[in-house]
Structure 1
Amino acid sequence: MDNRALPLVLLGGTLCNARLWQPVLARLNLSAVICPRLTADTSAEQASRRLLEQLPPRFLLAGFSLGAIVALQMVADAPGRIAGLALLSVNPLAVPPEHAPARREAVSAARQQGLTTWLSASLWPKYVAPSRVGDQALQDLICRMAEESGLDTLVTQTEIAITRRDNRGALAALACPIIIINGVHDPICTPHHHQLVAESAPQARCVTLAAAGHFTLLEVPDEVGPPLRQWIQECSDAQE
């Protein structure tokens, strides 16, 4: 499959970098991939504005977790720029103001404990399906991305997460192929959250992965690859 006309823009999650996408990209045949970093913006609106200034006039957009939050903001800001939308492990809801202090306290804990220690104790059990909690190689990879991203990135990305808006209203009018992918064992972006997105985008195709948790892209890349490949082909066909 070749899709030279439309680059695929990949937006990763909190404390993630391009390593997040490598297993799935190895299963796709793409000639143009852009993987911007979400490291300095302090709101989804700010990230959306910056990316829309930098990106080509039209593109496919895939967002994972925090990246899906930013992707939804981009849909609200510039729907005509987006030729296809993939949302993976997405929670579209705004964060209640009373939850913000706890999120910021978590950043303080990460600062005190170190990213790897903090992530391993507080987030790792929520990141993957129960069957993968003992997967040390996968845990090491996620911790490596966190260390490479750094604490300053956690600070700004936490602000993106807690100040986000609910942009589901922009999905119904989005005239392009949409795919929603989630893991059954995800306590962060739950199946209920994905159902809320699906209800706002009746034209979307939904894929639920029975063996995955939050990190679908790293847990089951063989299962994520085929539906993404089909989505990319649908986007390509829609341009012809």
Structure 2
Amino acid sequence: MMTTLNNTHMPLVLIGGTLCNRRLWQPIVDQLALSAAICVELTGATTAEQVSQRLLSELPPRFLLAGFSLGAIVALQMIADAPERIAGLALLSVNPLADRPENATPRREAVRAAREQGLANWLSASLWPKYVAPSRLHDRELHAVICQMAEECGPDVLATQTEIAISRGDNREALAAATCPIIIINGLHDPICTPHHHRLAAESAPQATSVTLTQAGHFIVLEAPDEVAIPLRQWIQECLHATE
């Protein structure tokens, strides 16, 4: 599902993570003064390759691309599939590695638990402590937004997105070969897409700008939208200058 905020010849495509929708991006979109943005939700396919091909068939001929978490995995697949289409790449809270085979069973068991317990209850118990920096664990407003997105997406979307995570590949070679401006942003207190994963991505793309937010966890887009928006604005300007 795509929501177009405006129209332009060079939009910014925003791909959210697991159980995320356009609410994820709104605090940042409001600050970027974009002429156009397209918010993408990961539905309708069970592999990153399938999602990539579907999006590439629907999106404009050329665009800027930003992905968060699972969305960053899909963004890496898209840069592998069609580097000529992407004028700039932003990876937020990224793990560039293929998933380990032993993760498949617990991931699918988590989907079953989420259906039984209800998404908000399951997320609060199992994921919330991993989602944000320790200093934000008692942030009720942030917790409410993340749970609201999860409930709006629903358990079927979680099941589909889980299969994308399980089947993902390692696209670091494509990242290394990319010639467009790249920025990689992570939170220091992220146990999901860890500082180690961030370094692996940055080492694969020495041409990229690498930013670590020292007070944020996994959900950097909602935890620290002001801090994320600053380097993203600079990256957008670099991308647009490169296309002139």
Compute the TM-score of the two structures, normalised by the length of structure 1.
Answer: 0.98
Q: Secondary structure at the match of 2:40?
A: coil
The corresponding residue for 2:3 is none
Identity of aligned residues (%): 74
Give CA-to-partner distance per residue, 1:79-106, whole Å, 9 cap, x none.
1100000000001111111210010000
Q: Which residue number corresponds to residue 141 of structure 2?
A: 137
Matched, 1:57 2:61: yes
Q: Does 1:13 align with 2:17?
A: yes
| Equivalent pairs, count | 238
Give the Cα separation in 2 of the matches to 1:31 and 1:108.
41
Q: Structure 2 CA distance, aligned partners of 1:171 and 1:65?
A: 16
Is 1:222 equivalent to 2:226 in the alignment? yes
Change (3 A) 1:4 1:237: farther
Q: Could you list the structure 1 runs, at least 4 aligned residues long, displaced by more than 2 angstroms after superposition.
A: none
Q: Tell me: CA distance 1:4–1:234, structure 2 relative to 1, closer, same or farther (3 Å).
A: farther
Report SS of the residue matched to 1:208: strand
Q: Could you give the per-residue CA deviations for residues 49-84 of structure 1, whole angstroms, max 9, x where no partner exists?
A: 000000001000000000000000001100110000
Distance between the aligned counterparts of 1:118 and 1:172, measured in 2?
A: 37
1:92 to 72, 90, 96: 96
One-letter identity of the residue aligned with 2:23: R
Within a 5 Å distance, the mapping from 1:188-227 to structure 2 comes to: 188-227=192-231
Corresponding residue number in structure 2 for 1:125: 129
Q: Which runs of 5+ in 2 are unaligned?
A: 1-6
Deviation of the 1:37 alpha carbon? 1.7
Unmatched segments (≥5 aa) in structure 1: none
Whichever residue aligns with residue 221 of structure 1, its letter is P
Q: In 2, are the aligned partners of 1:48 and 1:70 still within 8 Å (CA)? A: yes
Q: Distance in 2 between matches of 1:165 and 1:173?
A: 16
C-alpha separation in 2, matches of 1:15 and 1:88 = 16
Aligned counterpart for 2:183 among listed residues 161, 179, 185: 179
Question: Retained in 2: the 8 A contact 1:62–1:87?
Answer: yes
The alignment status of 1:148 with 2:152, answered yes or no, reads yes
Q: Please tell me the residue identity of whatever aligns with 1:143.
A: C
Partner residue, 1:234: 238
CA deviation after TM superposition for structure 1 residue 4, in Å:
4.3
Give the root-mean-square deviation of aligned CA atoms. 0.9
- Structure 1 CA distance for aligned equivalents of residues 103 and 131 of structure 2: 20
Judge which range, 11-20 or 166-175, deviates more: 166-175
Counterpart check, 1:114 vs 2:118: yes
Give, in whole Å, the separation in 2 of the partners of 1:70 and 1:51.
Answer: 10
1:5: Cα distance to partner? 3.6
Q: Note if contact 1:15-1:150 (Cα within 8 Å) is conserved in structure 2.
A: yes
Which residue identity does 1:85 align to in structure 2?
Answer: L
